[in-house]
Structure 1
Amino acid sequence: MTHTPDKPRRKGPTGLHARFVEPYQRALEHHRFRPPADSDALIAARVHRGDAAAFQAIVVRHRPAVAAYLRTCTADPHTAEDLTDRTFARAFAAAARGSDPTMSWRLHLLATARGLAVRAWGHRPDTFAAPFRTWADTGGTWSLESRSRLAEAYRLLPERWQTVLWHTVVEGEGRAVTLACLGLRREEYGRFTSRARTALHEAYLELHQRTAESSAECVRYGALLATALTGSSYGTDRTYDGSVAYERKAAYERIADHLAGCALCREAYTDLSDLDAQLRAQLPPLLLGWWPGPEYRELRAAQPVPARPPAFLAEAVRTAARERRRRRALRHHVTSRRAAVCLLTLALGTWLSLSLYESLVRPAPPHALGEQPPLPPQDPDTTHSALPGSPEPTRTTPSTAPVVPPRPGATQRPRPTPTPPLEPAGYEEPQLLDATGPIPAEAFTLHTGTTAGPDGTRTLPSGTWLRYDNVDFGTTAKHRAHLRLAAPAAPGTQLTLRLDDSATPAALATLSGTASPDVSLTEGTTGIHTVLIEVTCAGTDPCLRLASTSFTP
């Protein structure tokens, strides 16, 4: 009978604790202390500092969405692929310059893609889908009469809260993408989403109170409206406290009659009682214009995640690597020159120190102390005789000072000139229009209903408009707009000037038969904006022939 050695016993806890509790604790610690991914804003800052390869993370996160959005605009996948590369190339160039978007990166990329699609549609309309062509033919923008307090409240939120609401509510993306875009940990997701919804709820109610200040009854019912909506912004009526539900029900019963007769308060209650559905229905059309929601979500889910960086990014990474090698070589060259100068200075200082030491320690010659130096030995074969008073022959003693070799004449190499970074392939720098101009009427980006006139003028009938993108107002505030007309405006012509997509006009004036009217802006304007000129005729139609526009301080 053979002897079987005993098996070594396991150290530590055994049983259910070792099988279930310990693995759970290890997983919990792993997720708790695992650092979050870099947010989109942090990656843009790294790109601005020269780390071009970091932009690949933004491409991986957002390329499926941008490609799906452009696929809904185009009729073939090749055009969508080309516009997608151009969108990310433009975003990369802006990030390298340090120009951060004022909105979430997803919304910024979709807006850039829409602008490129509209420009490409103007050159090749047959490569775009029929619904997009119909939308572009009607003006390529959203209705100017549409107003949404929900969109205004969304714009008032910080960028991080806008990002989490757009990803989770509007696009309905998973938690992993949202956490990566914001740079959050998994345990922060629920709290951050709840705070964003609460902030939007409060901003909307504050806008509602400001809008309803003209009606004393709406102001009186404002607090009851907030009580009736408490908790409804989360899309559920369940509550753990029966008193809160009772207060909401009682408040709604008190304002039910007021809601039946007040359209403003009824709109606020409708928006906030089902906040998620209203965000999905109102935000994308108002912020993007073109928005095929269900088709976009289906195509985004089918898009593959890019495995390799696009061509423009690979070229930018190679260019950055070459620039780093050139700078490293330049630093090495400068360091070598400095080391050579230091060694030469040290050698010269050592030689001067030794020379000074020898001059101080060396004994003085006898004639300097008043003694007669010894005569040199005479050669018996020479005919020279030393006569009294005759000068002594001069003796030349070799110098004991060290001989310093001359400094080698090193040829000065020209300092290499830094080469500017190459623009990514497909990138197009947007053309800026100087606001002091004058801006020709034919330099518009989009228009509706206007016709071309002689000498580059545009004729504007009633209800038409001209839009000019990328108008640079500079750093000095501009307070007046000067219009040069080809003919005096018809009496009663009303001119409305808007900046960007603002609901409030920047200028509103009635032209009275002059050919060079000046219009005062409501406030001084600086920076780069989109200018929109609208015309409403009182009698004669068309009533305005615009030649140019300029802005002055």
Structure 2
Amino acid sequence: MASLVRESVDGDMAALRAVREGRTSVFREVYERHQASVRAYALTCTTSPALAAKLVSVAFAKLGERVASPHPLDRGRHAGCVRLQLLESTRLAAVADALRHPHAFSSEFMAWIASGSVWPMHDDGQLQVAYEGLTPLEQCLLWHTLVERDDLAAVAGVTGLTGRVLRARLATADRGLRRSRMELYLARVDGEECVKVLGDGGGLPYGDPGPEVAAHLAVCPRCRALYEDLVRLDARAARHLPSRLLGWWPAEEYQRNKETTAGTAPRQRPVRDAPVPRPAGAGRRRHRDTGSVGKAVTWLRGTRHRTTVFVAVSVTVATALTGTLAMRWMDSSEPAACGPGGQNPDVTASSETGPPLSLSARLRVNADEYTSHEGTAESKSGYRHARTLADGDRLRYDRVDFGQQGDGRLVTRVSNGRESGARLELRIDCLDSEPWATITVPADGEQEDVTAEVQALQGRHTVFITAVCDTREACGDLHWFGTVAH
């Protein structure tokens, strides 16, 4: 009768440790806790329910492999957050399977793969650094409350914390994220007054600023931007962290799928009759497909050192897939031609040619990745990818991919501005068109990320960047440009 009593362990990490100690039946508890969400994520990648079920199975088998390995469970990527580990495994398996069954995956997912399976690295990188500086438990709490929007009962099941202890740890995680975000800002800011005023606290980052801090925020735009960031940090984390950590993240579709599958109970195993003794010499026993949990438990009970070949094959397949689909995508998506009266984008003042592959605006385009240029020079300030521009200097970038949805905000990193009213004008496809965006280079000489609201673009385009200055002397450095969502 003891074997019929279901084991129960509070929290994911405690359950995985129990599995590692030999109590493999506990793995089903982890499966039932996460399978609906993992399936919801798989269905954002593929249009085939059967293939989504396979992706779920692979994700849990990978989790079983992790538990069976000798490595500590509380270290490594996404340590402490089983949901994140499972979602990442699902995405990796989907990328690999898309090579064999491209028509079974959504067009949006295939477009993401074709663009290089990348995500915007310049989009709120400080938030990611602040998040990853927290403890694994704090990261897990923030993921499930801010991103997954789980209720306290579900969070208690994942973490093993309940009642006042759970609420206290949630408050600690929230304060830790805000404190870490502010400390990263203070480590980079150069103004002594900023460090002195904000470093003393004065209500930040947990509440309303005190009188001294409020007076400083009124005259310091950078610190005021930090304060506004801290005020809405919960919403920013929920929006930006998933794409920073997973890359592929269609948030609305994922939540809809979760709501649809939440009420669906996991499939129960059928009751089987007692096995009939096999006659001697009957040959090998056939492999039985036991589903996601069965495969993971089988892995746990089998050989423990299988990761090398599996990882090597996965990386090879993913690399081949990315290259093949990227080339197909480039061949089928040409830059838009100029409009009436515009200059043909194939005509430039320089015959130099840059890299033939497309550039991703969402990843960011480095200044030195130009197709051709007029009059620019390498930066003398030690910045590796920057280009120095004077009045009339121009950079041209062919095949800049703005994605299928398009983003409404341009981010440009510039530095070494002079007191000359320097600005950069960006034009799309035609040199004589109206500027798509105009970026003012700060005159304080510091490196700064300047944002501008722009008309969202889709597909590939040629981008021209022209410097406009009051003098022929060098008036600023361009480091990179790219687009982000609002």
TM normalised by structure 2 equals 0.55
Q: 1:215 is matched with which residue: 183, 188, 191?
A: 191
What amino acid does structure 2 have at the position aligned with 1:229? L
Instruction: Call closer, same or farther: CA 1:115–1:91 in 2, change over 3 Å.
Output: same
Please name the residue that 2:276 is paired with.
none
Task: Report the counterpart of residue 33 of structure 2 in structure 1.
Answer: 61
Tell whether 2:211 aligns with 1:250. yes
* Aligned position for 1:26: none
CA distance, structure 2, for counterparts of residue 228 and residue 50 of structure 1: 50
The alpha-carbon deviation at position 169 of structure 1 amounts to 1.3
Aligned counterparts of 1:138 and 1:75: Cα–Cα separation in 2: 20
The corresponding residue for 2:291 is 311
Structure 1 stretches lacking a partner, 5+ long: 1-34, 233-244, 324-418, 434-438, 453-459, 466-491, 497-553
Does the Cα contact within 8 Å between 2:8 and 2:29 map onto a contact in 1?
Answer: no
C-alpha separation in 1, matches of 2:326 and 2:175: 45
CA distance in 2, matches of 1:80, 1:205: 41
Structure having the higher helix fraction is 1
Matched, 1:76 2:48: yes
The change in CA–CA distance for 1:267 and 1:36 in structure 2 (over 3 A counts) is farther
Q: Distance in 1 between matches of 2:304 and 2:69?
A: 11
Task: Name the structure 2 match of 1:107.
Answer: 84
Using a 3 Å threshold, how does the CA distance of structure 1 residues 93 and 318 change in structure 2: closer, same or farther? closer
1:268-279 equivalences under 5 Å are 268-279=226-237
The CA deviation string for residues 64-119 of structure 1, in whole angstroms up to 9 with x for no partner, is: 11100111111121111111111111111221224436321111111111111111
Residues 483-514 of structure 1: CA deviation (Å, up to 9, x unaligned): xxxxxxxxx9x999xxxxxxxxxxxxxxxxxx
Q: Is the 8 A contact 1:156 1:203 kept in 2?
A: yes
- Distance in 1 separating the partners of 2:250 and 2:299: 39
Structure 2: runs of 5+ lacking an equivalent? 1-6, 270-289, 329-353, 360-377, 386-486
Contact 1:40 1:105 in 2 (8 A): yes
1:431 aligns with 2:319: no
Mapping 1:274-285, distance limit 5 Å: 274-285=232-243
What is the RMSD of the two structures over their aligned residues, measured on CA atoms?
Answer: 4.0
Q: Does the CA-based 8 Å contact 1:449-1:464 persist in structure 2?
A: no
Deviation at 1:319, TM superposition (A): 8.9
The count of corresponding residues between Structure 1 and Structure 2 is: 308
CA distance in structure 2 between the aligned counterparts of 1:83 and 1:428, rounded to whole angstroms? 19
Q: 2:154 aligns with which of 177, 181, 198?
A: 177
Q: 2:252 aligns with which of 283, 287, 294?
A: 294
- Letter of the 2:310 partner, please give it: E
For the residues of structure 1 that align with 2:384 and 2:19, how far apart are their CA atoms?
Answer: 44
SS of the aligned residue for 1:308 comes to coil
Deviation digits for residues 354-379 of structure 1 (CA, Å, limit 9, x no counterpart): xxxxxxxxxxxxxxxxxxxxxxxxxx
Contact 2:20–2:67 at 8 Å: present in 1 too?
Answer: yes
1:461 lines up with 2:355 in the alignment: yes
Letter in 2 for 1:73: C
3-state DSSP of counterpart to 1:430: helix
- Alignment of structure 1 residues 153-172 onto 2, 5 Å: 153-172=130-149
The Cα of 1:423 is off from its aligned counterpart by: 8.4
Distance in 2 of aligned mates of 1:216 and 1:462: 46
Report the CA distance between 1:223 and its aligned residue.
3.1
In 2, are the aligned partners of 1:48 and 1:98 still within 8 Å (CA)?
no
Asked if structure 2 preserves the Cα contact closer than 8 Å seen for 1:449 and 1:461, the reply is no
Contact 2:156–2:166 under 8 Å retained in 1: yes
Provide the C-alpha distance between the structure 1 equivalents of 2:384 and 2:213, rounded to a whole number of angstroms. Answer: 44
C-alpha deviation, 1:209, in angstroms: 1.2
CA distance in 1, matches of 2:299, 2:93: 26
**Using the alignment, how far apart are the partners of 1:463 and 1:59 within structure 2?**
42
* Greater relative CO (CA pairs within 8 A, separation 6+): 2
Identity rate of aligned residues, in percent?
25
Which residue is equivalent to 1:231?
A: 206
Q: For the residues of structure 1 that align with 2:158 and 2:17, how far apart are their CA atoms?
A: 14
CA distance in 1 between counterparts of 2:199 and 2:247 reads: 34
Q: Would the aligned equivalents of 1:36 and 1:183 in 2 still touch at CA under 8 Å?
A: no
Matched residue type, 2:239: A
Tell me how far apart the structure 2 counterparts of residues 47 and 428 of structure 1 sit (CA, whole Å). 24
Deviation per residue, 1:219-275 (Å, 9 max, x gap) = 234237x4253434xxxxxxxxxxxx6xx2524531233343x3xx34422221122
Does the CA-based 8 Å contact 2:102-2:110 persist in structure 1? yes
Tell me, yes or no, if the aligned pair for 2:20 and 2:68 is still in contact at 8 Å: yes
